[in-house]
Structure 1
């Protein structure tokens, strides 16, 4: 019930639409008794009196007007319903997407993209069914039940009692069906989510599947997940196969009881024939909403399972201190200090007692073997994760007391794997600076040595780059990613293997642009290539999550430690690349 009440809370934003829809639905439900009442009156009052036969046309037209009124109200109800439900769906999806943006990266680390997409797209739509259709169907059904039942009991209490005798048994049947239904419907939603997650992964990695000729194996995996969904759906259908016909039969018992006891009442003279005809017409209108309530029960169970999955996201804990904290003082100089910083991913220690310092305008290189903790330092500077102990400051202000929006507005971040959104070159660049004009875009592209490649694209800045930039090479994507950071013009740069995806010539061009960019701002550079880091003001060498060496390129070479070993390896690799 708590879940249903939370879902209903979304209706409060549109009281006029909701009220208008309920008025139409109520009047429509009440109008269904018009034709049966007219039919009973014609049979008892008009047909037996030849002198009144001329009135028949009037009553027929009146009955037809009753049908017209019902369907006109239904038309208005459907129009209002469509606007109502789409606005509510929009609100739920908007809240869900906003929540996803506020969640910490740790939350996404353990989630599948396909599952998240299923919850945003499919589960929200399923929620809406109980929000709008379910509530309306339930209300209309109850009003129709009460209205028709009142006319039946007014006509003849005894026959009405026999007619409604099956109702308690219908309620018992609904309780039995509902008792364990939540697990059945939740199992179906989870199975659908698992299949969508696998499909998303396989479509994203289709080139790998083809490369390893794994089509048949992946087809078998997909069929296995699809079979789980089939079994979960069949489990629901088996219950419904017994429940729906069973409840229909129990309802038909009411017709048999009315036929028997109503006919007996007519034969004894206690009831008119027209009243018996009226009873049969009313009985069909009485058990029609009962059938709808059975369908509503199934709808509500499915919607509840979907709502549970949506509220799991909405109830997740926001990114720590996402709104709290003060702004960095302007202008940001870029004096960055890490003092005795430690951090763990879960129970796995990643950084231990890290201390380093980047003065305004300095370039700091982070070097070390894979898994040393270089990218983790960058993630902490962005506050994608919160450090466990120690202190990180920018211009003397503690990071965990700084507004994340203020912090991130001062950072330019170029990742090892360049990510471009499915849109145009222009749209991807404007992500960094929405107010930039075309001159600003071309200036950033020129600095990143990406202007020529952009001009060669079919539509220039308005060329669609495809999902994740699939229409471009790795080097081209990286240069556009660097152009995006250049456009932002941040006081602090974070470069995580920014030249890793380019060839030697492109690396040279980008290196020139990066050197010009880093001249007057603080920069943290992660790289394995000697050419990228040899001119850094200071180099910190990490191993096993700790700083094992620090100094300039020349100083570290003389020390003949880990950096010297990595440098020799990098130099040899660089020489081999150059000789090719």
Structure 2
């Protein structure tokens, strides 16, 4: 409301100069009223100064509101992204998500703040100046605005045709950001395989796509806006010509012409904003559609809502579970796996057998296509995902660390954990010694994705994070894959002490880890083909025996 009042006062002040021009032309100069020159000039200067002060206040007010809106909208979008299911992320490039948050939100906001502000103030100024001109000379006023219908039609045609061009430019920029994100994340692989020239060529192609899309927009602007200016400025020629005729006939004065000519700039100032505002609105509409395409997605179901067991013992059962990531061939099919409270279950099998998929289904990152998973006899499908995941510790293959301190990376699992708890978890994961050697100990920043640490150090911190959570169910997806034999031995000792009080699912590539499990499930092509204890499976002479004969340590033998 305050901004609108400021805009109205600023608009009224613009009429001071045309009025002064007419007064000087019709009264002061012809009548030699020299004593009025200085007072009238001071009035004009005062009006200009006051208008600029009010404009400054309006700009500050708009910017404060603008930044609040950007913050709120960006936060809402990020919150929505966090509530989306993993299936959405599987099909959405990271660079595209980043573009929507970092670029599309400000573009959308500019429509809401700058567009509406400039648009409303422009309409207000046009109405006020147009009304003033009508009081001066109705004929000249109508001649001045005669080109506007042609301008409106041209702008409408432009907006309809240029929106697809803005959309193509936005999508090309997102594709470029996605490629850049992937290449920076995979810079070690690029350097290791010396494919810098090939990746530069790929980047060059994506960059040229952006260039082509942007040039398409520029060309459209280069054609339409000179035409709009030509049509709009033709009005001033008509105004001068007819004003000369009317002045000669005595139906208008030089002062009237002076006021009209000075007001013409004020009248067409809002029209001159049509170019940037149309581009702003078009880009904002495209950005808004991309933002709302995310906001309109369905949240992950049953995140906070759902059942919660009063006491979780840790009995897990997969009954005829089948699942596919979207292909025709199921990733897992007809899987039956059972774990009693406190048992350690090992999952082994060739690459792509579906072992990691079972863990993803247990955490409800994905939902089974058929079959069911029971926790203490209750279907997990009816449980709150938030409650369920709070009671599961998950150490994944990638050992992901945030670009934050060691402490912050660990307390993700247990916010507010005391130092004693943190060091106990580090000791259990055999990570305390190297953390103490870090320059700032627990406060040392690990780098993006933990790049300042070795693979084994990242793995041990991931294990410590899961142990700090102290969950009743522990999922270890090749949790010791990046540590040496001695470190693995120490970690195994720590894990064995913890297994008595929790149910563990272990995907491992080392025989020493597998043979101590209470039960081993051997998977191949998404199905359980064998199950039993280590000795029983060896006696069968099947797939497990063949894997053991190969040492059960080939990477191809266990990756899921």
- Cα distance in structure 1, aligned partners of 2:553 and 2:193: 31
1:149–1:286 contact (8 Å) kept in structure 2: yes
1:48: how far off? Answer: 2.6
After superposing the two structures, state which structure 1 stretch, 351-360 or 118-127, moved more: 351-360
Query: Which residue of the partner structure matches residue 10 of structure 1?
Result: none
1:66 aligns with 2:47: yes
Deviations 1:39-94 (A, max 9, x none): 212322233333x4322222211111111121111111111111111111111111
Structure 2: which 5+ runs fail to align?
556-560
Q: How does 1:329-478 map to 2 (within 5 A)?
A: 329-330=310-311, 332-346=312-326, 347-478=328-459
Query: Which residue of the partner structure matches residue 558 of structure 2?
Result: none
- Cα distance in structure 1, aligned partners of 2:25 and 2:446: 74
1:254: how far off? Answer: 1.1
Query: Which residue of the partner structure matches residue 34 of structure 1?
Result: 16
Deviations 1:88-116 (A, max 9, x none): 11111111111111111111111111111
Query: Which residue of the partner structure matches residue 49 of structure 1?
Result: 31
- Cα distance in structure 2, aligned partners of 1:34 and 1:572: 87
2:162–2:220 contact (8 Å) kept in structure 1: no
2:163–2:282 contact (8 Å) kept in structure 1: yes
1:573: how far off? Answer: 6.5
TM-score normalised by L of structure 1: 0.93
Which of 259, 266, 278 pairs up with 1:297?
278
Query: Which residue of the partner structure matches residue 495 of structure 1?
Result: 476
Query: Which residue of the partner structure matches residue 507 of structure 2?
Result: 526
After superposing the two structures, state which structure 1 stretch, 26-35 or 481-490, moved more: 26-35
Query: Which residue of the partner structure matches residue 4 of structure 1?
Result: none
1:153 aligns with 2:134: yes
Deviations 1:155-177 (A, max 9, x none): 11111111111111111111221
Q: How does 1:231-310 map to 2 (within 5 A)?
A: 231-310=212-291
- Cα distance in structure 2, aligned partners of 1:106 and 1:306: 23
Which of 163, 167, 172 pairs up with 1:191?
172
Query: Which residue of the partner structure matches residue 21 of structure 1?
Result: 3
1:420–1:428 contact (8 Å) kept in structure 2: yes
1:137 aligns with 2:118: yes
1:419: how far off? Answer: 0.4
1:570: how far off? Answer: 2.2
Deviations 1:341-389 (A, max 9, x none): 2212223312222112111111111111111111111000000000122
1:526: how far off? Answer: 0.9
Q: Which runs of 4+ in 1 moved over 3 A?
A: 571-574
1:175 aligns with 2:149: no
- Cα distance in structure 1, aligned partners of 2:372 and 2:127: 69
1:500: how far off? Answer: 0.8
- Cα distance in structure 2, aligned partners of 1:220 and 1:258: 57
2:397–2:478 contact (8 Å) kept in structure 1: yes
* Cα RMSD (Å): 1.4
- Cα distance in structure 2, aligned partners of 1:141 and 1:457: 60
Label 1:325 to 1:571 Cα distance change in 2 as closer, same or farther (>3 A).
closer
Report the number of matched residues. 554
1:430: how far off? Answer: 0.8
1:572: how far off? Answer: 7.6
1:328–1:407 contact (8 Å) kept in structure 2: no
- Cα distance in structure 1, aligned partners of 2:213 and 2:335: 51
Secondary structure of 1:337's aligned partner: strand
Query: Which residue of the partner structure matches residue 465 of structure 2?
Result: 484
1:571: how far off? Answer: 5.5
Query: Which residue of the partner structure matches residue 486 of structure 2?
Result: 505
1:342–1:352 contact (8 Å) kept in structure 2: yes
- Cα distance in structure 2, aligned partners of 1:313 and 1:539: 42
1:319: how far off? Answer: 1.9
- Cα distance in structure 2, aligned partners of 1:511 and 1:459: 28
Secondary structure of 1:345's aligned partner: coil
2:509–2:552 contact (8 Å) kept in structure 1: no
Label 1:112 to 1:248 Cα distance change in 2 as closer, same or farther (>3 A).
same
1:557–1:563 contact (8 Å) kept in structure 2: yes
Deviations 1:271-294 (A, max 9, x none): 121111000000011111101022
2:320–2:335 contact (8 Å) kept in structure 1: yes
Secondary structure of 2:550's aligned partner: helix
- Cα distance in structure 1, aligned partners of 2:551 and 2:64: 63
Deviations 1:119-165 (A, max 9, x none): 11011111111111011111111111111111111111111111111
Secondary structure of 1:23's aligned partner: helix
2:509–2:553 contact (8 Å) kept in structure 1: no
1:392: how far off? Answer: 1.1
- Cα distance in structure 1, aligned partners of 2:420 and 2:404: 20
Secondary structure of 2:350's aligned partner: coil
- Cα distance in structure 2, aligned partners of 1:238 and 1:411: 56
Query: Which residue of the partner structure matches residue 578 of structure 1?
Result: none
Query: Which residue of the partner structure matches residue 320 of structure 1?
Result: 301
After superposing the two structures, state which structure 1 stretch, 420-429 or 316-325, moved more: 316-325
Deviations 1:284-322 (A, max 9, x none): 111111010222111101111111111111122222333
- Cα distance in structure 2, aligned partners of 1:220 and 1:403: 47
Deviations 1:447-502 (A, max 9, x none): 11100000111111111110000011110000000000010000100010101111
1:26: how far off? Answer: 2.6
1:492–1:521 contact (8 Å) kept in structure 2: yes
2:345–2:518 contact (8 Å) kept in structure 1: yes
